[in-house]
Structure 1
Amino acid sequence: MRGKTGNNAKTTVSSEVAETLLQEGWKKMDLHVHSSCSYDVPPVRAMHPAVLFEKARSKGLDFVTFTDHDTVKAYDLLGWEREGLVPGVEISLNDPEHIGHTLHVNVFELDSEEFRELELIANQERDFKSFIRYLRTHDLPHMYNHPFQFAIGDRPNLWAVPELIKQFPVVEYNMQNLTEKNLITAALARKYGKGLVATTDSHTGGMGAVYTLAKGETFREFFENVKKGRSYIVVEGGARRHITKELNSWIELVFTMDRQLREDLSFTTKVPSFDRVISLFANDRIKDFPRINSLAMKFFQNFSRSGLPAYMYIRAEKPMVSRIEKILNQIA
């Protein structure tokens, strides 16, 4: 049984079932992907939007988007009009008066002028209500990214998250996040009748490892079906596996990139101690010795494959899960 379609029936299906749906005309998309245009992505050729676009299409993604952090440069490089390409961006918004922590919102089918106007609201007005009003007035598809993942230094207002979810048509099951957090997000999406998408949020070219299925000849039709719950997500593998794979790919990108470009890289593995150790080895001095550089890369990749960095991150986040559950129990 595939489960019912319709509002509040967000269903996870296996990749085998997904293949059957694709043969029946359903479409496949990863709605949260970063390219080298994001500040925290290694600026290497493999992460250029043009390279990633072809890679995404080769993986069978029917619609491709790049939701870089607060920039639409990818579309200036690619061109805004390309078959299967959906202009998108991930905008950061911190409304200190009404929320208190930073939200990340993906916006789709916008143009450069709409992006500039949204950036002004986010950076100058810093007003969530004005931001949402603009999205609705301009009929721009949008979604609430990783509701329970917070920026370093933020003081999360956990009480606000359920109310925020009510304001969005779609929320995200993000594979860079803990499974427990994603399950809480999925439960809230069901409770409030919101669409749910599965995304990689990949910063290393790993798009399509998880994805969303819906019908639609256009992205707009696809997204409308997601909003109505007429969609499925494929999330096989678990958070630890996906985080480990992402980290392993990132290590390779960092150790093989031009040394002049490394200094400005601000990507984080989410394990601060691991970040510091990598930064000691992925530097100009090591780059002068290719054999040592290669050995260092292999060492860190093997350490990553052990799953220990991902385990450290997951363990550090467990107390947050307990806090979320406690607050949601009080709300219920």
Structure 2
Amino acid sequence: MHKKARFSMNKVLSSDKTMELMDEGWQKADLHVHTSCSYDVPKCSTVHPQRLFEKALSRNMGYVTFTDHDTVEAFDMLGWKKERLVPGVELSVTDMCNVGHTVHINVFELDKEQFQDMEFIATKRQDIFSLIDFMNDNDLLYMYNHPFWFAVGEKPNLLAVPELSKHFPVIEYNMQDLKQKNLFSMALAHRFRKGMAVTTDSHTGGIGAVYTMAKGDDFREYFKNISKGNYYLVMDGPIWKHITQELSAWIELVFNMDRISQHEFSTGVNLLDRAVKLILSEKLTEHPNVNLFTMRSIQKLSTSGLPFFLYTLSKRSQVSEIEKMMSIY
């Protein structure tokens, strides 16, 4: 573990130690959650924005936000001024000039016009620093998502990550990424005195399985306290368990997705997309017992730990490269 990450672990709590904080007015929020409005979320009722909003409230989230990929459709459905609901979006910026790879940014407390302006900067101008300037000029709240996650097929510019981190008030600890990468992100947050938020980044309705606690009578105050370092990361269980549970839930959603919805869904990985198309083919959907047996078999494989082990193995060299780069920080 990086020494700065080790030092920062005093910000981590288990959920059974948060009752006293809640009694003192600390708020809970999961700042990275996807709904059925995201292109890579299976279109099922369990991940509909309204269902997830109600689920978050039942889990005592002080603030609820949805950060779908490059869309704010969830807030068109729910309303932009709903109590405890914070408008949000996950923007993708492929800035090959300043960065060299795709960066994901969560933006909060935006309106629809601001989203359209940012979408133009992100997709047309592809200039991350123009986007940061826009967010600052409009007094928006934003977070650097999974700094060491990189899109399939991209060759990342690792040296850009620490330099880019300097421009963000909050850096994410993402439960869908490897622990080693999150520890590097934690080290960056400590090195540059940035806030950190732990998130589910759930695409299956797992909102609130982990969350960040901070004081705040409104969301802006809550987020500002995180950026100042006055926060706790609340998580139970290891990352491998969260990823395995997410994968199993995702498999079930895919098998229960109707065939019409497959045209609106994409994982971004051609091989997986072909697999989903096969699952939703008439041959499987017309035979419920075969469909259920196939789903349970794939879920059993996913919970065996083998997929996670293979994923970890595939990222070993990348983690080593990141570790070498981080040694100078």
TM interval, shorter chain, is over 0.9
Which residue in 2 is equivalent to 1:3?
none
In structure 2, C-alpha distance between the alignment counterparts of 1:307 and 1:76, rounded to whole Å: 39
In structure 1, C-alpha distance between the alignment counterparts of 2:235 and 2:187, rounded to whole Å: 15
**Following TM superposition, by how much is the alpha carbon of 1:284 offset from its aligned partner in structure 2, in angstroms?**
2.6
CA contact (8 A) 2:262 2:277 kept: no
Query: Is 1:311 aligned to residue 309 of structure 2?
Result: yes
In structure 1, C-alpha distance between the alignment counterparts of 2:43 and 2:271, rounded to whole Å: 23
The one-letter amino acid paired with 1:88 is: G
**Following TM superposition, by how much is the alpha carbon of 1:10 offset from its aligned partner in structure 2, in angstroms?**
6.5
Query: Is 1:41 aligned to residue 41 of structure 2?
Result: yes
Which residue in 2 is equivalent to 1:150?
150
**Following TM superposition, by how much is the alpha carbon of 1:20 offset from its aligned partner in structure 2, in angstroms?**
2.1
CA contact (8 A) 1:10 1:196 kept: no
CA contact (8 A) 1:10 1:230 kept: no
Matches within 5 A, 1:195-234: 195-234=195-234
Please state whether the residue corresponding to 2:65 is helix, strand or coil: coil
Indicate the RMSD between aligned Cα atoms, in angstroms.
Answer: 1.7
**Following TM superposition, by how much is the alpha carbon of 1:9 offset from its aligned partner in structure 2, in angstroms?**
8.8
In structure 2, C-alpha distance between the alignment counterparts of 1:237 and 1:49, rounded to whole Å: 26
Which residue in 1 is equivalent to 2:242?
242
Query: Is 1:136 aligned to residue 136 of structure 2?
Result: yes
Q: Kindly tell me: are residues 122 and 275 of structure 1, through their superposed partners in 2, closer, same or farther at Cα, counting changes over 3 Å?
A: closer
Please state whether the residue corresponding to 1:262 is helix, strand or coil: helix
CA contact (8 A) 1:262 1:283 kept: no
- Greater CA deviation, 275-284 or 172-181? 275-284
In structure 2, C-alpha distance between the alignment counterparts of 1:285 and 1:262, rounded to whole Å: 15
CA contact (8 A) 1:9 1:229 kept: no
CA contact (8 A) 2:266 2:273 kept: no
Query: Is 1:77 aligned to residue 84 of structure 2?
Result: no
In structure 2, C-alpha distance between the alignment counterparts of 1:242 and 1:210, rounded to whole Å: 10
Identity %: 51
**Following TM superposition, by how much is the alpha carbon of 1:283 offset from its aligned partner in structure 2, in angstroms?**
2.7
Unpaired runs of 5+ residues, structure 1, are 1-7
Which residue in 1 is equivalent to 2:176?
176
CA contact (8 A) 2:31 2:199 kept: yes
CA contact (8 A) 1:12 1:235 kept: yes
Question: C-alpha deviations, 1:115-158, integer Å up to 9, x for none?
Answer: 00001111111111111101111110000000000111211000
Question: C-alpha deviations, 1:276-331, integer Å up to 9, x for none?
Answer: 656543433200101101111111111111121122112211211100011122x3
CA contact (8 A) 1:200 1:208 kept: yes
Unpaired runs of 5+ residues, structure 2, are 1-7
